[in-house]
Chain A
Amino acid sequence: MPEKDPLFLPYQIKEKEIHYDASLYLSYWRSGWKKLRANRLAMAALFCLIGLMLMAIVGPMLTPYTYYDTHLQLKNMKPCKMFWLGSDELGRDLFTRMWWGARISLSVGMVAAVLDIIVGVLYGAISGFIGGRVDELLMRFADILHSLPYLLLVILLMVILGPGIFTMIVCITITGWINMARLIRGQILQLKTTDFALAIKALGASRWRILLKHLIPNTLGSIVTMLTLTIPTAIFAEAFLSFLGLGVQAPIASLGTMAHDGLSALRYYPWRLFFPAGCICITMLCFNILGDALRDALDPRIHL
């Protein structure tokens, strides 16, 4: 009797239990990072920003001058060996002043943006979560605030609180949170109807717990993206206010005040405007590029 082909003999499946294999899937953040890395423009923007921030920290330390040292004999000099970016009308080193200014602008911008985000997220989340009349009231209040003329508000605050960094942060924050609030409110409105929110409620969780531990973390993607796009707006707002003379007072420099000073000297000493303005532009550009790229990277529907 012909032997059965050995390939056709029975095979014993070893009881291989199915274990979770982490390598098969990428988490939301890892997948987002991978997509971001593939975007070369975004990576360039990121490195540029890191470079800028490093310079803002160490820049002023690289020179023997401070931002307020005056050298009245050496005013309005072109970029040279002594003053790497030239000097202003009081002989102060522009290089030191610019990076000092960058420090102020960047930190004011980031602090204001973070505050905006915190206020915006909480406001929007609570409004969306409670819903109904409360939601309508809160949103109408935000709408009214949004429609007030910004500059008037700012000037009013300046008068009440006096000029300075703190006031500026308040000014920038006061209307910047509204977009975030609207965005988060929309997401929360949708998230609170999902099954997992119901499931947690069915387990007996308090409303705060549902909101803080379950719903808001699901909006993190939007929050991160919005953050990267709010920062340049805040930086520009600071520069704008300082440019108008409503910001930090001399001799403290911010990029905005430097641009203000540079404007009057534009015809003869154009670098005094170009350097700080250029710094503002590049910073904003990089944040915007990064923010755009982040938005795409964190969207699970968009693939490489």
Chain B
Amino acid sequence: MTALLEVKNLRVSFKTNSGNIYAVRGVDFSLYPNETLAIVGESGSGKSALALSLLRLFSTTSVKVEGEVLYRQQNLLTFSEKELGNIRGQEIGMIFQDPMSFLNPTMSIGKQIMEGFYYRKKMTRLAAKEKTLELLHKVGIPRASYVFMQYPHELSGGMKQRVMLAIALAFSPKLLIADEPTTALDATIQAQVLSLLKQLQQENGMSLLFITHDLSLVAGFCQRVVVMYAGKIVESAPVEELFLYPQHPYTKRLLDARPKGDGKLLHEIPGMPPNPRQPLEGCAFLPRCHNPLQICLEKSPPLFSSEEKHHSACWHQDPRSFV
């Protein structure tokens, strides 16, 4: 089966007044049709930069994106703005963490969604309105015709997120990128939105790229997980594999750091996430690792495969480290 999206050696760096920020330092992964892939990482891991680089949605020009982003075997990074414009929203949709900055505060909800139908598909006003109401209903918004006329600031966080979802799904994209869509939401609303995402993914036969910092969310939600740290992928595995047999020390510590209800001190991860301004030598996780090897100081580990589809970037996976 051919991959819907293939990312090869993606590198993203920003130029600032005080030097360069190496946000993404060489990332490879593939996403297949009808699959949900989670990308998990914390601040400095580069996951947001990665998400934005796929459709080149950066708001600044001082960013450099290198590598290949193959969507249906075509490299999106070589597309012109116009060609990309056809992909965005139609083939690949995206939703973000903060719906307020995504929605136009001066336009009513209905108008914002209708715009797309009106201009892109050249539908009549009436047909566009019908389709919009259908969409709003599909994302679980009650009283769609009332919400149609409301403005973004009148809606709650959960509702805005649903509207954003509606806009993203308007043209039935094959791939949906969700960049921390539930981080700003309450637990109860988060559950609703996640369940909705899963339902829509299955109904539409879409692939979903779900980016989050919360490892516990992905269980029961995705098929595969990719863990990022300091701009690189440190582990990638099917979801059960990852939770039952984590290989990379970071993943292990992350899973271990959650409270287990035994009242003892939590197993914290010492140190801090690395600073993306500093170029790295050796393994980025070294200062926080409890079992480093000599080589970790000098070279950054590549991804080693242990089982089918379970890879981790740790020198302990290198056969030379076994006795």
B294 touches A25 (CB 8 A): no
Cα distance, A16 to B292, chains bound together (Å): 15
Main secondary structure of the interface of A (DSSP, over half): loop
Task: List the A side residues contacting B80 at CB < 8 Å.
Answer: none
The verdict on B323 contacting chain A, using a C-beta distance below 8 Å, is yes
Tell me the nearest residue of chain A to B299, going by C-beta: A7
Cα distance, A35 to B18, chains bound together (Å): 10
The verdict on B253 contacting chain A, using a C-beta distance below 8 Å, is no
A18 touches B272 (CB 8 A): yes
* Other-chain contact of A35, B17, B60, B292, B318 (Cβ < 8 Å): B17
Report the minimal beta-carbon distance from B99 to chain A, rounded to whole angstroms. Answer: 22
* Other-chain contact of B293, A8, A31, A35, A303 (Cβ < 8 Å): A8
The verdict on A34 contacting chain B, using a C-beta distance below 8 Å, is yes
Cα distance, A24 to B277, chains bound together (Å): 8
Task: List the A side residues contacting B145 at CB < 8 Å.
Answer: none
Cα distance, A31 to B292, chains bound together (Å): 38
* Other-chain contact of A25, B15, B18, B292 (Cβ < 8 Å): B18
When each residue 249-282 of chain B gets 1 if its CB lies under 8 Å from chain A and 0 otherwise, what string results?
0000000000000000000000110010110000
* Other-chain contact of A304, B17, B296, B298, B320 (Cβ < 8 Å): B17
A11 touches B293 (CB 8 A): yes
Task: List the B side residues contacting A34 at CB < 8 Å.
Answer: 17
Interface size class of A (residues with CB under 8 A): 10 to 19
Cα distance, A11 to B287, chains bound together (Å): 11
Q: A13-B286, A31-B18, A304-B17 are in contact. Are A6 and B320 (CB under 8 A)?
A: no
B294 touches A8 (CB 8 A): yes
Interface size class of B (residues with CB under 8 A): 20 to 34
The verdict on B295 contacting chain A, using a C-beta distance below 8 Å, is yes
Task: List the B side residues contacting A9 at CB < 8 Å.
Answer: 293-294
B60 touches A303 (CB 8 A): yes
Task: List the A side residues contacting B289 at CB < 8 Å.
Answer: 13
Report the minimal beta-carbon distance from B21 to chain A, rounded to whole angstroms. Answer: 11
Q: Which of A192-224 contact B (CB under 8 A)?
A: none
Task: List the A side residues contacting B15 at CB < 8 Å.
Answer: 303-304
A13 touches B293 (CB 8 A): no
Q: What are 7 inter-chain pairs, A to B, with CB distance below 8 A?
A: A4-B320, A4-B321, A8-B320, A10-B291, A26-B18, A31-B18, A304-B15
Instruction: Please name the 6 residue pairs, one residue from A and one from B, whose CB atoms are nearest each other, closest first.
Output: A7-B295, A8-B321, A11-B292, A11-B294, A5-B320, A26-B18
Q: Given A9-B294, A26-B17, 16 more contacts at CB 8 Å? A: A4-B320, A4-B323, A7-B293, A7-B295, A7-B320, A8-B315, A8-B321, A9-B293, A10-B291, A10-B293, A11-B293, A11-B297, A16-B287, A18-B271, A31-B18, A303-B60
* Residues of A near any B CB (own CB < 8 A): 4-11, 13, 16, 18, 24-26, 31, 34-35, 303-304
